Amino acid sequence: MRRILSRIFTIALLCLLFSACQKDETLIYSAFSIGNFTSGVFTSDEGQTYNIVEQTCEGRLDTMKRAFIVCDILERVNGQKDAFNIRLKEIHSVLSKDVLKSDEIDEESVGSSPINLASGWVSKGYFNIIFNFTYFAESLTKHFINLVIDKEKSTDENVVLQLRHNGYDETLDKASDNDLAKVRVGTGYASFRIDDLIPEGKDKISTTVNWVWHSQMGGVLDKETVPMTSNGVLWR
């Protein structure tokens, strides 16, 4: 069984605006964004700075270097074009890593556990992803997520990438009958630097991303895993 998924990486995640809430006249619009937290300031990859004046979720931005946030934009800061006061509604830490090369990796360490590419988009030299993975409830085992360039299959016109996961057997396909009840599906966020993937003299390159995830029936994951593929474009 093989499922081919086609996604466009260049979705406009960062600047998606929603209608203003009529019950809250201070709300300009709602948004979600990804960016870096430096010296007490969150700066999105689009260059906007966000000042948190209200927070309705758990978590602290000052504990994260890079984050994905959902917020309400309340007002501009002193009339500045790209600075806003916000109500922080969700915050998710983002793993930030370099892309690995297939001829330089330790296959056992990188692993081949199932992982799902739920969304992907490009911003400020990063390929950002939202992914799904399985883990055991109450486990303290750290999983590893990597993006690997397939050196054998990549060309100057198309770069082939593998999304890889080492779940240390905390996976649906490897779980014993006694451990099946412990399996949970989690969601994670990661950003991979892509500047080195684009040949010198070009501002973009087509890409193919491969990964392995579970087959599903009626929304329920099966132990069987299937290869998946998505095609898109990476740009500087």
Render pLDDT for 36-62 as a digit per residue (tens, 0 to 9): 988 778 999 999 999 999 999 998 888
Catalogue all structural domains in the chain, each as residue range(s) with its CATH number: 29-93 (2.40.50.500), 95-235 (2.60.40.2370)
109: nearest Cα among 172, 165, 151, 170: 165
d(CA 224, CA 20): 44
Helix (H) or strand (E) holding 107: helix 107-110
Query: In the chain, where does DSSP find H-type helix?
Result: 107-110
What pLDDT, in 10s, does the model give residues 157-215?
Answer: 999 999 999 999 999 989 998 899 999 999 999 999 998 999 888 999 999 999 999 99
pTM of the shown model? 0.86
DSSP state for residue 198 in the 8-state scheme: S
Residue 23: pLDDT band with limits 50, 70, 90: very low
CA trace torsion 131, 38, 64, 212 (10° rounding): 20
Record the tokens describing residue 98, joined without a space: 């370099």
Close Cβ partners of 218 (under 8 Å, ≥ 6 residues apart): none
**Residue owning tokens 């890079």:** 66
- Nearest CA to 14 out of 41, 56, 44 is that of 44
Mean pLDDT of the chain: 87
